[in-house]
Structure 1
């Protein structure tokens, strides 16, 4: 475990008035619901099973263990991480767009964690579950700060079925090129952090994944990250892979786990200043000089079949990954996440209808072993 005593921060205790609901936020909900329903319809035409509106294509479906470190400083020993324990979890690597694209377009790559065996007061709607879900993207900031911009971006993706694939390929290139320009203007050529829509021609296992949207962290507010620490993973950072094959990303993960073990650290960045670390604007990268990412747990995934049709049926078809499925002490924060809550609820209902009600939160991972 990395020593944390050298880091001294004074995190802000959460106050309800830190969350500010814009007057336009509620008016966007109906439009967003229509857009997401359209995306699900488009995705369903490209899939033989119930389709998500986003994050449809999985590249890796792993079982792993999370070892929560002992002797954490009090501010970091919160919620799920309040005491040392080892818990099983699922790791799902996916692609953000809703349709099943060739891997070549530069679309954002995502990681979802579903930790099993979690105890504590739960968020409304998840009272019967014992899981905690965390969502990450391989970019430090969300491209859309406001719910209106987020909605407009989704509307671009919800195009007609006849042109969806071509348009999404074009949009992926456009987002990537625009992000490179913004990146160079804002941070210069030596930016420490990759943007959400950067070129995606490198191995997913070498990426650092960041929550982007803040969450409650017990008494405080935080962002979290999953960082590769095993030598075999670090060696894959920025390593190009063959994306000319339609499933190049999936193949790279499957090949890795034939014989090798992967180890990541889950790290937490506590909010210390609302001016430089805002709750409502997910485009702002929280400065690490104000509050560094501190290790709180280690995630280990041993050699396994990292993707199979069987695992896909159990996980892609039988589970949803929502940050609103978890502990009250880790409630999602921010306008974009509040608006996306409706997406998760609608997706669960639509998914369950298409899959004859087989959506569930797992009680164990025995079926995946």
Structure 2
């Protein structure tokens, strides 16, 4: 791992906040009402896409850029404070399936348009106490985004922003006019100004916090091979074509192995590290990232059509499908707990495709 033994020793004696301590989660007023409204808005967005494409997609992350298989490697020499949850308590290797995507709900969005990107991970053969929603499936589902924070930072904000997008989404100047009037305008406008780089060079963030055994964490993936790091200066240009991201990604995975460090950032100060609001960054200089595992991806075809179709039509990644010891926390994740099943239900109904809860990685084609 990337830290020295002396650094581990220093970090192991810090006072980390317990996941069930007072005020870690603070439920705001009217949250349930806001969540119901968000579900209605997302379903409306899905319906509008169906009216255009005659196929129903998720409310976000509709454009698949690639799907790959690999393994998550957990070392056996982690210090005590990082041996949290059944997943990281002992050395082990777990099969993993991952999907790269573009975040907006439009499956036809041009890759040359700068937008946040997504990375979803389904870890197999996981053992431990699971939430009821995915209790029959021994998987840990994990979501990442290419930006460290989300502009849909809690249920109330999500409701307000999605209402604006549905009302003014066809008129960008008008949408920007209303976004600029908000106190969080800088956050809301930031998604249209993210760097548009090769997907394999990006860092991937959880954005929202999660339980980490006894503690609370955010997590991220960091590219860790020299080849991936060399791609960090490769920026999408107008002449590259509207499908450049998946073409670049496919070429890379055909010719190179890949690897990412899986790192966690632990909660130490509730005044500076918000759990309820996912629109602020936790200062990594004060609260450093600590590596706990490695994602290893061998050479393969990342654009397998059978795999892509199966994932889009039958699968979903849901952070509430997994270990109780890695419980999603905060307003953003409580919203996901209600929203994801409702969004999936509409997709299955409109597309006449059943949801399949895969129990092993070999059930995914390709």
Residue aligning to 1:219: 214
1:11 is aligned, of 9, 16, 40, to 16
8 A Cα contact 1:112 1:135, kept in partner: yes
Q: Cα distance 1:138–1:174, how it changes in 2: closer, same or farther (>3 A)?
A: farther
**Alpha-carbon distance between aligned partners in 2 of 1:93 and 1:172, rounded to the nearest angstrom:** 28
Residue aligning to 2:78: 72
Q: Identify which range, 215-224 or 277-286, moves more after superposition.
A: 277-286
Is 2:247 the partner of 1:251? yes
1:48 Cα deviation from its structure 2 partner = 5.3
1:40 Cα deviation from its structure 2 partner = 1.0
Unaligned runs of 5+ in 2: none
**Alpha-carbon distance between aligned partners in 1 of 2:173 and 2:90, rounded to the nearest angstrom:** 45
**Alpha-carbon distance between aligned partners in 2 of 1:270 and 1:47, rounded to the nearest angstrom:** 43
8 A Cα contact 2:68 2:97, kept in partner: yes
Q: Cα distance 1:128–1:173, how it changes in 2: closer, same or farther (>3 A)?
A: farther
Residue aligning to 2:277: 281
8 A Cα contact 2:74 2:293, kept in partner: yes
**SS at 1:237 equivalent:** helix
Which structure features the higher share of helix residues?
2
Is 2:300 the partner of 1:304? yes
Instruction: Spell out structure 1 runs of 4+ moving beyond 4 A.
Output: 166-176
Unaligned runs of 5+ in 1: 184-194
Q: Cα distance 1:221–1:202, how it changes in 2: closer, same or farther (>3 A)?
A: same
8 A Cα contact 1:272 1:290, kept in partner: no
1:71 Cα deviation from its structure 2 partner = 0.9
Residue aligning to 1:235: 230
Instruction: Please tell me the root mean square deviation across aligned C-alpha atoms, in Å.
Output: 2.6
Residue aligning to 1:191: none
1:33 is aligned, of 35, 39, 60, to 39
Q: Cα distance 1:151–1:310, how it changes in 2: closer, same or farther (>3 A)?
A: same
**Alpha-carbon distance between aligned partners in 2 of 1:30 and 1:358, rounded to the nearest angstrom:** 24
Q: Cα distance 1:197–1:27, how it changes in 2: closer, same or farther (>3 A)?
A: same
Calculate the TM-score normalised by the size of structure 2: 0.88
Q: Cα distance 1:256–1:207, how it changes in 2: closer, same or farther (>3 A)?
A: same
Q: Cα distance 1:298–1:39, how it changes in 2: closer, same or farther (>3 A)?
A: same
Residue aligning to 2:205: 210
Is 2:320 the partner of 1:316? no
Is 2:366 the partner of 1:358? no
8 A Cα contact 2:313 2:353, kept in partner: no
Q: Identify which range, 111-120 or 47-56, moves more after superposition.
A: 47-56
1:14 Cα deviation from its structure 2 partner = 1.4
- Over residues 242-288 of structure 1, what are the superposed CA-to-partner deviations in whole Å (9 max), with x where a residue is unaligned? 45422111111011111111111110111111111121121221112
**Alpha-carbon distance between aligned partners in 2 of 1:37 and 1:31, rounded to the nearest angstrom:** 10
How many residues are matched? 353
**Alpha-carbon distance between aligned partners in 2 of 1:173 and 1:318, rounded to the nearest angstrom:** 39
**SS at 2:344 equivalent:** helix
Calculate the TM-score normalised by the size of structure 1: 0.88
1:124 is aligned, of 115, 126, 132, to 132
Q: Identify which range, 9-18 or 297-306, moves more after superposition.
A: 9-18
